Every structure is written in structure tokens, then in C-alpha cells.
Amino acid sequence: MNLSALIDEIAAQADDFLDGFTGRADARAGIQELLTAQHNSLTETERKHVTDGVMSILEDEGFFDATPGAAETDADSSAGED
């Protein structure tokens, strides 16, 4: 199995399957749960590699930095400053 492709695939789906998860620990647990359910043939080392890879992508993309509605609040407050 191509683990890099799996990492990219899971990271691309993160918005959907991690909806409602709060924080990094919950996200990590969600990824591990997904791997157990859908890719149970992976070894423990492979699961850790994939989980770490997905978490790294999510960190790089700022997945954990944004708070719901933050972009809307910024846009609303700057609209009144013109």
C-alpha cells in the first residue's frame, strides 16, 4: 500500500470526517479510528506513520488554528472600516 497516497487521501477528507472534533488529540484519535475501520491491514508502525503524516498536513494547513466563524467575523468588521 502506498502510504503517501493514503496520507494525502485522508488529509483531503479531514474536513468531512473530523467535523465536530475539537483539538489535536481528538483529531488524532479520529484518524486512528478511521484507519482501524477502513485500513485494518496496516501495521501499528504504518498506522502511526499515516496518522503523523495526516496531522502534519493538517498543522501546515492551519486546520487547528481557525475557529468557526472567524473568517466571517474578520470580513464583517473590515467591511465597516471603509
What pTM does this model have? 0.76
* pLDDT on residue 55: 96
Report pLDDT for 66.
61
From the list 14, 78, 1, the residue with the least C-alpha distance to 51 is 14
Counted residue by residue, the chain has a size of 82
| Cα→Cα distances 49→28, 56, 66, 73, 74, Å | 12, 10, 25, 37, 36
pLDDT, mean of each 10-residue run, the chain (82 residues): 94 89 90 94 96 95 68 44 48
**What pLDDT is stored for residue 46 in this prediction?**
97
Per-residue pLDDT at 42: 96
> Could you tell me the CA-to-CA distances from 28 to 12, 42, 57, 65, 82 in Å, in that order?
15, 16, 12, 15, 42
Give residue 70's pLDDT. Answer: 44
Q: Cα–Cα distance between 25 and 52 in angstroms, integer?
A: 12
